Amino acid sequence: MKVSLNWLNQWVEINDLDADELATRLTLAGLEVEEVERIGEGQEKVVVGRIDSIEEHPKADRLVVCKVDAGEDELRQIVCGATNMQAGDFVPVALPGAEPPGIDFSIGARKVMGVPSAGMLCSEEELDLASESEGLMLLDRSLKVGQPIFEALGLKDVILHIGLTPNRPDCLSHRGVAREVAALYGRELRPEKMQIAAPLWEGDTGAVSEAASLQVVDVEGCPRYAAAVLEGVKVGPSPLWLRQRLSALGMRSVNNIVDVTNYVLMDLGQPLHAFDLDKIESQQIVVRRAAAGESLEAIDHKEYKLDESDLVIADARRPLAIAGVMGGADSEVTESTRRILLECAYFDPRSVRRTARRHGLHSESSHRYERGIDPGAILENLREAVALLVQAQTHLEGDAPTVRAGILDGGPGVAKAAAIELKKDRANQVLGTAIESAQVEGYLKSIGVEVVAEDDKAWRFEVPSFRPDLERSIDLVEEIARLHGFDKIEATMPKALMGRAHVLQQGAERGTIVSRAERRALSWVRDLLLGQGLREVINYSFMGADDLDRLRLDEGDSRQLAPRVANPLVQDQALMRTTLIPSLLNNLKVNRAQRRSDVAIFEIGRRYFMTEERRTLGIALTGRKSRHWTGESTWDFFDLKGMVEALGEAFDSSDACWMKPEVGESYLHPGVQAVWSVGRQPVAFVGQLHPAVSSKEGSDQAIFVAEIDLEALVAEGAPRREFSTLARFPAVVRDFALVADEGVAYATIEDVIEKLRAEGGVFGELFRSVALFDIYTGSPIPEGKRSLAIKVTYRADDRTLTEAEIEAADAALLGALAEGAGARLR
């Protein structure tokens, strides 16, 4: 939002305030001033000049030589290429050394085709007062020659660029910002700012009902629609004051009708639309939803296919405008327009937001309607707009336009907001302050919030219609803090809730509450992965349909049934994600674009299904995992497998095991993937990205990914920890090279050993651990077989083992492996 201080001064006295100090005060009050722009500053060498004479250039047909009085002792000779001026005209003159804001070079004295030229005659475009111009800017001849042009035209101004948050639609106008300034500095708004006290439509002209009719069919989308009719209008250039106001904000002047609607938009925050009444079929206005198959050519001369949920302003035959978003070309005001129907309405913010997003349209009007304009000021704003339309035509030849008696007014209006109760000690409790009750009332009254009831313990406040963001007592507390000054609130330690207050109660709805055990578990997961050199990423919880296609998922896959976002910001975020893998692949792609090929990342996020949400951990590894002068190593499948196993140590995963997936993941390499199950429930899928997928991702190196269901792990709970003393007697380590069928997984070996341990006996008493340390195929191993080398550790707690005990345990082990896994000693 751009705010002109000259314009703002018409609403509230600010001439005594420093612009930078005002910007700081507004920023501290929540209206962040992002830039302070000074128009006309440093432009003292661009002055008012009078053309004394014009002669043809001796060597160029399209150039003329002007003698110009710039308020100096002698006339100045300037070569010019414009043709719209004559002797006696007043024009802007850029003297040598000047840097007009619309050009990117400094003016100098030089020869043009052999003729000396000391300066430049300027157009509106060169002064940055218009986006384009066809000749010099011709000035009023009453101006003082030699006076700086921005000062002479009253254009010297300071513009504040305010970055407003969506909850402050009341400040999308000069009146709204003026309210804030008045509240912050204890000043009053100037009531004389508004044009007239009585509406022009209260005259004795013909009734408006004889000129047009109104029917509001959809009162939900349009709670209030008002319109006035003006006849005998003259469409032409706007008066200088109006063009200056809009130019200061960087808005291009179109004509006096359009300029007035833009002026009211920026002054009062009220979007308006002017229809050519003679182009409206049967002079009938109908506010309704679009019918199937309807379309509209908008004023940008593009055709828009309307959706049946779009709110439109129509006549008896066709749509004329997309309500609150953009007008149509068929009813646009042109130079031939003589009768105008001026719309001033309140449209439902949600309806406008959806329509604007659906059609990819965003305008100053839709920006305000989406956030919520003041529904209580419709008639006041219409009155002001009508007065300004009449005023903006008085400088043109001919009679003044007439305003039809009465207005078109439809819709039930917007219900008045309920009063808000605020306990008298609430603000000080929240803010840690000692603000007096009278001061609280004063702060809120300064922004239009009035006391309607009061007792010893609380107030009831009525909120003005221009503040739709004030809904709860805490909103009023925030207003008190803003007006009191955040910088005046001393830092205090809050009271901490401990123990039971932070424990998830049995039977309570979970919502966003995270139990203490779950917080500990997530913290442990983060610490573990960060300690192994991974970096945490945070992604949006959305994805597009193309993301699932990237993973080559089958049509029947449950992840294809992704919940759809009702109002997606962009199409590639139209679905709630059912897997974290596409998000991680996008992270890798961004890193590759930055020439970072060695990446190790993880994300803790949620997957969203039709009936539930699952907290999930995603991991992606690619490239080198370490750089050292002794050599380099790259991430591989076993690094990822080890991370998953380490994660399991934080949970009761004693019965966890690795298995070959019954149905492999389509996005993973068929020979390099595994599933990690806890209690026969799949918890993690780990593997190398399928080469076909990684090549489409633009990667020429292996990518390893994992997706772990943290919900399932947390449900297992923490493992039972038992203390044991350090071993007093030595262990015996035995290596065995086993030959088994290639189809026998190492997990089968572990299962056989675990079953034998559970049976007890000499092996169960002595066995402590087993680990795989080598796999070999090839000669002399028979075809279809492979060698698995395992390391088995024996120990007794109360003695040193004898050779007989060790041999008995070995015999039991080899017998069980032969019977249970078909594995025999090499």
In a domain, 87, yes or no: yes
Asked if 276 contacts 218 with a C-beta cutoff of 8 angstroms, the reply is no
- Cβ burial of 57 (10 Å; 0-12, 13-18, 19+) is middle
Report which of 124, 117, 62 is spatially closest to residue 91, judged by C-alpha positions: 124
Calpha distance 793→769 (Å, rounded)? 5
Does residue 51 lie in a domain region?
no
| SS3 label, residue 185 | helix
* Residue 105 and residue 73 share a domain: yes
- Over 70: is that where the pLDDT of 514 sits? no
Are residues 129 and 264 located together in one domain of the fold?
A: no
* pLDDT tens-digit readout, 103-135: 889 999 999 999 999 999 999 889 887 777 889
Report the C-alpha gap between 295 and 540 in whole angstroms: 35
Q: Is residue 176 in a domain?
A: yes
In angstroms, rounded to a whole number, what is the distance separating the alpha carbons of residues 376 and 268?
A: 12
pLDDT of residue 511: 47
Question: Alpha-carbon torsion 728, 729, 735, 740, what sign?
Answer: negative
Do 571 and 635 belong to one domain? yes
Report the pLDDT averaged over residues 35-55.
Answer: 93
Distances (CA, A) of 640 to 244, 532, 634, 672, 687: 66, 11, 12, 12, 8
Residues 23-31, mean pLDDT to the nearest whole number: 94
If pLDDT is split at 50, 70 and 90, which confidence band does 718 have?
A: low
Give the pLDDT band (50/70/90) at residue 508. Answer: very low
Q: Count other C-beta atoms under 10 Å from residue 550's C-beta.
A: 17
Looking at residue 500, its pLDDT comes to 47
E-state strands within 597-680: 599-608, 613-622, 624-628, 631-634, 656-659, 668-678
Radius of gyration of the chain (CA): 39
* CA 206/CA 203 separation, integer angstroms: 9
Cis ω before 349 (30° cut-off from 0): no
722 lies in some domain: no
Among candidate residues 386, 410, 434, the one where a domain is terminated: 410
pLDDT at 793 over 70: yes
Structural domain includes residue 345: yes
Bridging pattern class, strands 213-216 and 284-289: parallel
User: Is 469 found in the same domain as 385?
Assistant: no
* CATH number of the CATH domain containing 783: 3.30.70.380
Q: What is the rounded average pLDDT of the residues 650-661?
A: 76
C-alpha dihedral sign at 645, 647, 650, 655: negative
Asked if residue 431 lies in contact with residue 485, where contact means CB atoms within 8 angstroms, the answer is no
Tabulate helix, strand, coil % of the chain (nearest 5).
30, 25, 45
Residues 236 and 329 in one domain: yes
Question: Does position 154 have pLDDT exceeding 90, yes or no?
Answer: no
Q: Which of 396, 356, 346 shows the shortest CA–CA distance to 376?
A: 346
Say if residue 629's pLDDT is above 70: no
Are 739 and 706 contained in the same domain? no
The count of structural domains within the chain is 6
Instruction: Answer with the residue of higher pLDDT: 220 or 630.
Output: 220
Q: Report d(CA 81, CA 64) in Å as an integer.
A: 6
**DSSP string computed for 751-808:** HHHHHHHHT-HHHHHHEEEEEEEEEE-STTSPTTEEEEEEEEEE--SSSPPPHHHHHH
Shared domain check, 135 and 23: no
Q: Encoding tokens for residue 11? A: 């609403």
- Pick from 410, 435, 456: which residue ends a domain? 410
Average pLDDT, integer, range 241-249:
88
Q: 3-state class of 46 per DSSP? A: strand
**Domain region containing 666:** 516-716
Give the CATH number of the domain where residue 305 resides.
Answer: 3.50.40.10
pTM: 0.66
In a domain, 506, yes or no: no
SS3 label, residue 193: helix
How confident is the model over 1-26, as a mean pLDDT? 94
Query: CA quadruple 536, 541, 547, 550: dihedral positive or negative?
Result: positive
Q: Where residue 712 sits, what CATH number does that domain have?
A: 3.30.930.10
Mean pLDDT, rounded, for 607-630: 87
Band the pLDDT of 203: cuts 50, 70, 90: confident
Residue 409 annotated as binding? no
Beta bridge partners of 51: 68
- Lowest-pLDDT range, 284-293, 438-447, 624-633, 634-643? 624-633
Q: Cβ neighbours of residue 730 under 8 Å, at least 6 residues apart?
A: 795, 800
Which of 410, 444, 468 lies at the terminal end of a domain, its last residue?
410
User: Could you tell me if 466 and 175 are in contact, meaning their C-beta atoms sit under 8 angstroms apart?
Assistant: no
173 with 209, same domain: the answer is no
Q: Are 184 and 108 found together in one domain?
A: no
Same domain membership, residue 401 and residue 274: yes
Residue with tokens 């449900």: 715
Q: How far is CA 339 from the centre of its chain?
A: 41
Arithmetic mean of pLDDT over the chain? 90
Per-residue pLDDT, averaged over 41-60, amounts to: 94
CATH code of 484's domain: 3.30.56.10
475 is in an annotated binding site: yes
Instruction: Say yes or no to pLDDT of 630 above 70.
Output: no
Burial tier of 610 (Cβ tally within 10 Å: 0-12, 13-18, 19+): exposed
Q: Does residue 640 fall inside a structural domain? A: yes
**Residues 396, 432: one domain?**
no
Nearest to 583 by CA among 533, 536, 538: 538
State percent of the chain over pLDDT 90.
Answer: 68
Distance, CA of 734 to CA of 441 (rounded, Å): 84
CA-to-CA separations, 38 to 96, 132, 150, 166, 576, in angstroms, rounded: 22, 22, 11, 26, 46
Q: What local confidence, expressed as pLDDT, does residue 351 receive?
A: 95
Whether residue 547 is contained in a domain is answered as yes
Query: Above 60 in pLDDT, residue 42?
Result: yes
- Range in 173-182, 197-206, 303-312, 343-352 the model is least confident about: 197-206
Look at residue 415 and tell me whether its pLDDT is greater than 60.
Answer: yes
d(CA 551, CA 693): 7
CATH of the domain at 121: 2.40.50.140
Task: Read off φ and ψ for residue 753, nearest 5 degrees.
Answer: -65, -40
Question: How many CB atoms within 10 Å of residue 821?
Answer: 21
Burial of 134 (0-12, 13-18, 19+ CB in 10 A): exposed
Same domain, 330 and 368: yes
Measured distance CA(244)–CA(333) in Å, rounded: 22
The amino acid at 646: A
pLDDT for position 725: 80
Convert 60-124 into a string of H (helix), E (strand) and C (coil): CCCCEEEEEECCCCCCEEEEECCCCCCCCCEEEEECCCCCCCCCCCCCCEEEECCEEEECEECCC
